[in-house]
Every structure is written in structure tokens, then in C-alpha cells.
A and B are shown apart, each in its own frame.
Chain A
Amino acid sequence: MKKLQFIAVLPAALSAAVTSAGAQSLDYSTISELFGEPVTTSANGSPQRQSEVALNLEILTAEDIARTGARNIPEALRHIPGVDVRRHTFGQYEVGIRGYNQGNAERILVLVNGRQVYTDFFGQVVWDGIPVEMSDIQQIEVVKGPNTALFGFNAVSGVVNVITYNPLYDEVRTLTARGGTQNFYEGSGTISQKVSENVGFRLSLGGYEAKDDFDDVEDAKDSGGLDISSAVEDTDRASVALDLWAQLADNIQGNVELTKNESTRNERLVTHAPSTNEYDTYSVRGRVLADTPIGLIEFDAYHNESRVDFEIGDPEANIPLQADNRITVVKLSDTFELGSSSIFRVAGEYRSASNIFTSSAAELNGDDLTYDIWSGSVLWDWRATDTIRTSAAFRYDNFELDPDGPFVAGFPVGAANPFTDSQYEDQTREEYSYNLGVTYAPDDVNTFRAMTARGADLPSFVEFGFQTAFLPGTVTSNPSGSIYGDPENDTSIVTNYELGYDRKVDAINGLFRSAIFYQYNDEMQSFDGFVEKTGGPFEDRSIITNIGDSEMYGVELGLDGVYDERWNWGVNYTFIEIEDDFRNKLNEAQRSSVAAYEDSVVNHIFNARLGYKSDNWTADLFGQYRSSFDDIVEASNNTNSQYRLEGVNSEVIVSANFAYDITDMFTWSVSGTSLLGDTQQSVEYEAETVVWTALQVNF
């Protein structure tokens, strides 16, 4: 296993004075217990009960997560309606919310306690790179639909906010050892506790190692004809997080968080090229929360850095490419009540990010981009009557791109960069977004929701200014080529309309939930959005650019119940339909763009679960049916059609978990996924059956 090359240094004793702890941060455990249901701040920034939010929000509690037996966050999310989880390799998962789950899905915003943890240079999520152990998690909140008015760019399809235990409120001490098939073994631990009346810390450590055990070469062969089976490396992960909280005064809390994470995984890139990548990230964060006469004021500043080492394509001729990404975010918000029925939140945010791609290969050129974003937002949550509640959020973002150094000079002769330096200068975008929602709860049984939202999907660094070229036989079997981000890419605008209805069903001690939605995506961006033959050594010139519009509509239905307090069950069904209107779609079989959302969407996903809880053991069974779809794959030697479609059959994925409390201190469990056999969740790889056992010690 890759060794952790860092040491978490416990800071010196924090200065703290004073009396009893206040509640500047949300005490999820106490308030959830108080109201008898999960609470959240993800819906609109202010604390709310799940049943009252004017959004389609799902919350997985720590117990829900434990009952799945999931060893990582994506597997815990798999059975939420509207969520599409695709496992490619042991370490690579793609998670989409309501479609558009294709190739380094970049449309969901993943946060840990409000800090973004996706890789900013492309916007995709490296789930193993999140510095959180499963035993750290208080709850996971999933907001479906665009939510950029509250969270900013990338919150296009939805938001996943992972809430960890807060040491000022939650005492947790646990160690977990796991081992299973695929040479999988893992150790992790969480300590969350106070060290004095006013100071607490959460320390989490974890790491695992596993090996992708493809059954045969075909399982690990990309459709472009490159055999990557010899390139498969061990998958591993090592992570540490230190989260310090202090009650600095009656009404002020302070928080410092340090994280470090290293992981290696076999994956397919957005272009479906096979790659083995190493991700190295760290973050530093400081927060101050004050409950003042003018409201709940939060100052939040953090810095994320990531270094990604790509080994793309044929291991004998792979391209050593690195991405160094840095982002600094500073936020200030005030959430306050006005009158007895209105809550306002006013916030300002500044973020500065930079990214540089470098390579030791002569055929590659580095490009260094930075951007700055200034944002302002306001939220109004209004309890109009005892039965009607409205929520309105607006956000304005001002974006400015700033290249550092020439782009064209030094780039290989013949690559024919279609863009000039001046095009990278003076790139600004001004965008606004909103979320509007109303809930009507005429009684304690029925709740109706109506929502609309406008989200802004800003092009990423890659889409703005990525530049690379590859030699014959390296990335694909195509002879050669060059790829450019388009500095004049437009922001993609997502408009969403949704109706929801929930009904408590006392007869089954359960809840029926439903939603119907329509979404319009204006000017989506895509890799290989425009491809042309230029001649010279890099003859295929590919532009990452806007490709056109796409519509999505769908339905979600879910029913959950509890019987005799020991049995719990649930079924849900999601239907999604997408219609693309892309300019470069050649025909049904061939296309130049890597985007083919109407084909790659899984139209029907049906989930069912059944669980039993005894005094000292639990047993849970989960099943998922996924309808067939067409995945997009690289085509061979066809310069006019980079990609083609290939069918993926419908699949049934069965997962199970059995946990037994040996004593109050020790819990033994055995879990597994894809238990009926390897499942095809994408065209290139088969997701293998994985079974593991775990021993957890609570002390």
C-alpha cells in the first residue's frame, strides 16, 4: 500500500474560555432527535426539517448507511431514487443525478460539510479522494436538480453534501478492519470527542488496497483496440482528516480542518481512454460561526490543492501528464430572521483557482490558467401561512479567466492551435441563477411541492483551455491528434421544473414520495465537440466546445415502510428520458462528440430493499434493476466519427449486508455487491462481484 507521506500534526491547545456551548453550528443529532426526522442546511442554507424543504431532498442517516454495509459513498447512494451509480473499476465510480451520467460526470457538486471536494480542473468527483471514512459520516444529503443559486457552479444535476460528526456534539470512537475478494483489505478509524468543555476534535484515518481482477482481457479492453490489461495497477487509498472545533465564546465557534488524501485507481477518462491515475490532494480550512443580534454569521475560508498523475493509454507508450490544481474560497454569510415568518440569508463569495497541465513528454505543452469569481447571493425563506412555505434564492457570479503565459508558443509544430493568446484574455462571464420553491402541507399527511430553478454550468479549466497532442498509437488507435479547450465556450444554462407529492401512509408506517420533472440544458459542453482533419503530424484536431441543447424529463416514485419495528422495506422507481439536439450528431451510430446522453441514460431503475433488525443483529438485502442502454465508445481509425455506440444489457445488481453485535464493543459484518455475478455498468469494464467482511470496534 502506498504509504502516507505525511503526518497529521495536532495543533497546540486551542485557547478557549467560557461557558456552555451554544449552537452556532447545527447539532444534527440533537435537533434530528428533537424533531423526529433528519434536518438539513443543504436545502437553502438555513436549518430545516427534511419534510419542510422546498426541494427534492433525500437524507441518508448514519444508520441508513450502516445498514447498506457500503464501503464507500457511491455504494451508499446507489438505492436513492434518481441516482445512477456506475462502478467501472474497484476505485472508479460515476454518480449521476437524473441522467447525464457519462464519462467523468461533472454535473454534481460534492461537498464535505460545505467544502467542495470535486476536482476543480474538470469538475468530476474522485470518490476515493474524499477525505472521509464511512464511520465519520453523520448523514449524507442529496439535493436533486440544479442548485447553483445556493452552492455555485457544478451544482447542475444536484448536490451531495456529506455531513461528518461534530466533536462538540458527537462522541464517536471506532476502528474498522475490512477484508475481502479482489485482495481487498482496509483499515479505518474515527475519533470524535471533546478534550475539554469547549474544545473537541475529530480525527479520521483510513486506507485500503485492492486489485482489479478482470476475468479476461476483454473486460479491460477499450474499444479503440488498446489492451490495457497489463496496465492495471493496484488500487489504493490513504486518507487523514483532522477537524478541530472550539467554543470560543458563548456565541462564537471556531473550526480548523486539515485533510490529506492519496489514491490510485484504474479508470476510463472522459474520452473513454483507459488510464491509471494517482490523485494527491490536501486541504486547509478555517471557519468562524457567530450567533449575533444581526443573525448567524459564518466566515468560511479554505484552500484545496490536488495533483493528478495520469498514465493514459498503452502502458508502453503512455502519456505522462500531470494536472496541478489549486483553489481558494472565501465566503461570508449572514442568516437571520425578519419578523416571525421570514428567514433571509445574504452571502458573498470569492474564489480563485489555477490549473496547469504539464508533461515530461516533448509532444505536450503546459498551459497555465487561473480564474477569479465574485459572487453574491440572497435567500428568502417565507412561512406564508401555517400550511404554505416558500423559498427563493438568487445568485450572481462574475467570472474572469486569466491565462498565465503564452499558449501557442512552444506547442508542437503542426498541431495548429486554432486559438490565439488574445482569445484567452478578457474572457469574462456574468451569470445569474435562482431556485424557487413552494411547499403546501394542508395536514400532517400530505405535502405538495412545486419548484423551478435556473442553474449555470460554467466551463471547467479543461473546457476553457486544455491543450494536448498525442502521437500515433498512444491514447487511441487513431493515428494522432490534438485537443483544445475553447476559451470562448459559453456557460451551459440548466432550467428545471418540478412537482412533488409526499404522503404519509400510517397503515404501513411509511411514506410515499413522488416527483415529476422537466429539465432543459442550453448549450452543453463536450469533449470532442468539434473534430476536423488538419493534416500534419497531429491530424485530428478536436475542440472541447458547446455542442447544443438537451432536454430531460422523468418521474420518481418511492414507497417505504416499517413493520413491527423490526422489518423495514422500500421500493422506488425512476424513469428518465433524454432528447439531445446536438449539432455534430452524425447519425444514430456515429458521432464526433463524446456526449450521447439520450443513448447513455438508463431509462428505468427499480430499487427494492428489505431489512430486519433483531436485538443484536441486522440483515439487509438490496436489489436494483437497470434497463439496457447504449454506452459510447471510441471508434477505430475513423476521423469523421470518433465515437460509436455499443449496447450494455440490462442488469440486476444485488447487494447484502449482515451485521452481528458480538458485544457492545465489537460488531462483525459480512457484505457484498454484484452478488449474482459480475455486472456490466459501462461498456468497457465489468463490475466484479465483491464480498468483504468487517470487524468494527467501538471504544
Chain B
Amino acid sequence: MTLNWLPVALAAFGCFLFTASAHANEKKDIETIAKSIGFINGGPSGSITMDIVFDPGNPESVAHADEVAAITSGGVGSKVKLTGNKVASPGEATSAVIFVTRGAGGVYAAALDQAVANGGLTVSNDVNCLSGGCVLVVQTKPSVDIFISTAAAGKAGVEFASAFSMMITKK
């Protein structure tokens, strides 16, 4: 018996595991964003649309937008339930919550401006956005870290409940 198919199968299985794991991680990031939004004083609650801003010219950004849109198509979260809606530029965003994808560095500032105009905030799971224009950035691997850009939060007028605010990292 030859087992030529085995490396291929193992590789495929490995890819599946990696994809599933990454996907699970991405979902946990979105769940963490939804829960964190629930601690904004006077913030949104219930089912809300989350505009997913991506850079059409950047494959990484497009892929990230597709992934987040797929995860959030049925809504993620409970107290705050986020349903994704892809938008190719910040100007198209109408929601109070704007998710900024990886590789969309060129639109950080515009995304924040649009979020402010919409009376909301920018969120992401890309730490690079923290210094560019995101109010709230989360990471759940290897441990949960929640970052707030004090400059962006100040511009957006976003304040978190004190108990929550004391547990997160401000940049």
C-alpha cells in the first residue's frame, strides 16, 4: 500500500485546522469588540450594523473584510450585537461602529473622521490601527488585551465605564 496521499491529507488537515483556528480567533475578537462597546457610557446597544472598511487595492484588507463579514453576517454578541457590512471607503460608512481591516492603513484617519461624524467609534483587531485612527483595538491571542487610543477616544467623545476603563490599556 502506498501512502502518497498521506502528506497531502495531513497538509490539508493542517490547513483546515489553521483556518478554523484563525477563524475562531477572529470571531472571538469580534465578540470581544461587541462586549467592549457595551461598556461605553451612553453607547449603542442592541443590534447594530458594523461597517467594515477595507482597501480594495490591498488583498490582505479585502480578505480580512470578507472574513469579518462572513463571521458577522448573522450577528455577533448579545447586549451589543454587531452585523457586518462591507464598505470600500470610509465615506460610505453610515454606522456608529466602523471596523477597520488589516492593510487599510491609508484610510485610518478618514475612518475615524467618519465615525466621529456618525457619532460613533472605530474598532479593529489590528494593533497597527491603534496609532492611526482606531479608538478600540482588541487582541485575544495569546491572551486578551484591550487597547484604547486616548487621542482617538477623545476625538470621538467616547468614554468607558470606570470599572472597565481601569482594566484596559490606554495608548
B32 part of interface (Cβ distance < 8 Å): yes
Checking B35, B45, B140, B163 against A47 with a beta-carbon cut-off of 8 angstroms, the contacting residue is B163
Checking A25, A39, A291 against B41 with a beta-carbon cut-off of 8 angstroms, the contacting residue is A291
Checking A46, A250, A336, A383 against B42 with a beta-carbon cut-off of 8 angstroms, the contacting residue is A250
Which residues of A23-75 have CB atoms within 8 Å of chain B's CB atoms?
23-27, 30-31, 33-37, 39, 46-49, 51
A48 to chain B minimum Cβ distance, whole angstroms, is 7
Which stretch in A337-345, A513-521, A667-675 binds the other chain? A337-345
Q: Tell whether, in the assembled complex, residue A36 and residue B144 are in contact, meaning their CB atoms are under 8 Å apart.
A: yes
Q: Tell whether, in the assembled complex, residue A34 and residue B170 are in contact, meaning their CB atoms are under 8 Å apart.
A: no
A37 to B150, alpha carbons, bound, how many Å? Answer: 25
Contacting residues, chain B, for A36 (C-beta < 8 A):
140, 143-144
User: Given that A30-B35, A34-B144, A291-B41 are known contacts, is A296 also in contact with B170, CB under 8 Å in the complex?
Assistant: no
Checking B36, B146, B163 against A296 with a beta-carbon cut-off of 8 angstroms, the contacting residue is B163
User: Given that A22-B161, A23-B39, A23-B161 are known contacts, is A444 also in contact with B167, CB under 8 Å in the complex?
Assistant: no
Residue of A nearest to B162 (CB): A296
A25 to B164, alpha carbons, bound, how many Å? Answer: 10
A22 to B163, alpha carbons, bound, how many Å? Answer: 10
A488 to B171, alpha carbons, bound, how many Å? Answer: 53
Q: Tell whether, in the assembled complex, residue A31 and residue B170 are in contact, meaning their CB atoms are under 8 Å apart.
A: no
A600 to chain B minimum Cβ distance, whole angstroms, is 41
Contacting residues, chain B, for A295 (C-beta < 8 A):
162
A251 part of interface (Cβ distance < 8 Å): yes
A335 part of interface (Cβ distance < 8 Å): yes
A20 part of interface (Cβ distance < 8 Å): yes
B106 part of interface (Cβ distance < 8 Å): no
Contacting residues, chain A, for B167 (C-beta < 8 A):
31, 35, 39, 47-49
Q: Tell whether, in the assembled complex, residue A340 and residue B170 are in contact, meaning their CB atoms are under 8 Å apart.
A: yes
B165 part of interface (Cβ distance < 8 Å): yes
B57 part of interface (Cβ distance < 8 Å): no
Q: Tell whether, in the assembled complex, residue A337 and residue B35 are in contact, meaning their CB atoms are under 8 Å apart.
A: no
Q: Mostly helix, strand, loop or mixed at chain B's interface?
A: loop
Q: What is the size, in residues, of chain B's interface with A at 8 Å between Cβ atoms?
A: 24
Q: What is the size, in residues, of chain A's interface with B at 8 Å between Cβ atoms?
A: 34
Residue of B nearest to A336 (CB): B162
Checking A20, A250, A341 against B170 with a beta-carbon cut-off of 8 angstroms, the contacting residue is A341
Q: Tell whether, in the assembled complex, residue A340 and residue B171 are in contact, meaning their CB atoms are under 8 Å apart.
A: yes
Q: Tell whether, in the assembled complex, residue B161 and residue A291 are in contact, meaning their CB atoms are under 8 Å apart.
A: yes
Residue of A nearest to B161 (CB): A23
A546 to chain B minimum Cβ distance, whole angstroms, is 41
Which residues of A1-17 have CB atoms within 8 Å of chain B's CB atoms?
none
Contacting residues, chain B, for A49 (C-beta < 8 A):
167
B87 to chain A minimum Cβ distance, whole angstroms, is 27
Contacting residues, chain B, for A22 (C-beta < 8 A):
41, 161
CB 8 Å contact bits of B134-151 with A (1 = contact, 0 = none): 000000101110100010
Cross-chain pairs A/B with CB under 8 angstroms, 30 sampled: A22-B41, A22-B161, A23-B161, A23-B164, A24-B161, A24-B163, A27-B163, A33-B35, A34-B32, A34-B36, A34-B144, A35-B144, A35-B167, A36-B143, A37-B143, A37-B144, A47-B164, A48-B166, A49-B167, A250-B41, A291-B41, A291-B161, A291-B163, A335-B162, A337-B162, A337-B165, A337-B166, A340-B150, A340-B171, A444-B142
A interface with B by C-beta (< 8 Å) = 20, 22-27, 30-31, 33-37, 39, 46-49, 51, 250-251, 291, 295-296, 335-337, 340-341, 343, 383, 386, 444
B interface with A by C-beta (< 8 Å) = 32, 35-36, 38-39, 41-42, 45, 140, 142-144, 146, 150, 161-167, 169-171
